[in-house]
Structure formats: structure tokens, C-alpha cells
A and B are shown apart, each in its own frame.
Chain A
């Protein structure tokens, strides 16, 4: 894992978090509005996942950790 490599944070759909719960977490961590959070949660449910813009490994891991602490299923994949 190289420091300059970029990583994509992926938030996965699951069967246990409510739409509102996902929206509330996204609102908190991304600074989105409640409506934008709900729309993002709907996209995750409809498409199975949503991806954020690529980040260096440190910030990407920190963001995945923050999402997982809040109960979401978040993972990392290398940016293409």
C-alpha cells in the first residue's frame, strides 16, 4: 500500500440500517442536508452502494472508520 495511492470509500447497502439512519450519518460526516442524506441513502439502497471521490489512504481509512463506528458498512478499494 503506497502512500501516494488513492482509495475510494464505498458505502454498501445492508438490510439492517434504516434509510433515516444512513441519511443521518451522511449528513453528519459529509455535511449534507437531511434531504441530500435521504437521497444518498436511497441511491445506496437502489444501486447497492455509493462511492466517494478518491482520497489518500490515511484520510480514506479515517473516513471508513468513522462510517463503521456509526454502524454503516463501508469499505475501501483502490482508485482505478
Chain B
């Protein structure tokens, strides 16, 4: 079975065409991560795995999490909800700029569920150090994040076509 993702940008709209298996696996992945972010499902995802320390020292960083952590997590959860609310796992998606920004955010944070260390600490020579042998999942999330962002930055009337 061939996996693929075609991302096209034209006149401010982004269209994605996915292979049936790609769509199914991606939708399952995002649904799983959304459940874990919401605290249900297999193993929750801690704030410390989602957001880096804001300060050099531990104590002010913990205070920052106390002040902002819940709202920050709620924003991420809301983005997952919007993406999954607008896409039921079909092979085609059409996004406006706000939808593309949401999808990029979701694809970025979803990686945290499968990496053995926080995203911002992953060394360049260990990009696929994943839990549960999820190298392929992380690779797809990472590549799609870049493709969606590239498409979202294209504002001209010249169509942009990206293929995975």
C-alpha cells in the first residue's frame, strides 16, 4: 500500500490529498495524542514534555508553569479539537490560513507523544529516538509539519505543490 501526502497552496487556500492509509493513520495518531493531552487514554503528556522551562532557573520556571501552563495546554488541546472537528479522517482536506496554522501546531506537538526526550532537546544525530518504535510516525509528523507550513507561507497566485 502506497502512502502519500500532496499539499497544494493556491490563492490563500491549502489543499491536502492523502492516501487512504496515510489519512487513516494520521487521523488515528492525532486522535490518540488529543486524548492523551486531555488526560485520558494511554499515558498523559506532562507539561514538561510539551513546553520548555521559560527561565534558566527551576523555581521561576515552575512559577511560570503555575501562571501559564493550564492556559497553554488548553490552547494546544483546542487546536487539536478544531483540527479533528474539521477533519474526520477523509483523504482530502481544504484549509484556510487559520486552519493551516492549527494543523502545523498539532503536527509539531504530536511529536512529543512519541519522542523519548522533549522535542527541543532532541540532538541532530538522534532525531528519531522514539518510544514504541514510532520512528515512521515521527518522520511523517515532522515532514508534514514542514510541508503545511511551507504551503501556508505561499500567498502568491502561483500554485505551490509539495509531495511526500
Chain B count of residues within 8 A CB distance of the other chain: 36
Does B145 lie within 8 Å of A68, measured CB to CB? Answer: no
State A12–B108 Cα separation when bound (angstroms). Answer: 16
A40 on the B face (CB < 8 A): no
A80 on the B face (CB < 8 A): no
Does B146 lie within 8 Å of A21, measured CB to CB? Answer: yes
Of listed B76, B122, B124, B145, residue having the most chain A CB within 10 A: B145
Distance from A3 Cβ to chain B, minimum over Cβ atoms (Å): 14
A16 on the B face (CB < 8 A): yes
- Would A20 and B146 be within 8 Å (CB), given that A70-B108, A75-B52, A75-B54 are in contact? yes
Does A37 lie within 8 Å of B153, measured CB to CB? Answer: yes
Does A68 lie within 8 Å of B153, measured CB to CB? Answer: no
Q: Please, which residues of chain B bring their CB within 8 A of the CB of A28?
A: 101
A1 on the B face (CB < 8 A): yes
Chain A count of residues within 8 A CB distance of the other chain: 30
Of listed B60, B101, B109, residue having the most chain A CB within 10 A: B101
User: What are 19 A-to-B residue pairs whose CB atoms are below 8 Å?
Assistant: A14-B120, A16-B119, A21-B108, A23-B149, A24-B104, A24-B153, A62-B68, A64-B64, A65-B72, A68-B52, A69-B51, A69-B75, A71-B108, A71-B109, A71-B119, A73-B52, A74-B54, A75-B52, A75-B56
Report which A residues bind B (CB closer than 8 A): 1, 12, 14-21, 23-24, 27-28, 34, 37-38, 61-62, 64-65, 68-71, 73-77
Report which B residues bind A (CB closer than 8 A): 50-56, 60, 64, 67-68, 71-72, 75-76, 101, 104-105, 108-109, 111, 119-120, 122-124, 127, 142, 145-146, 149-150, 152-155
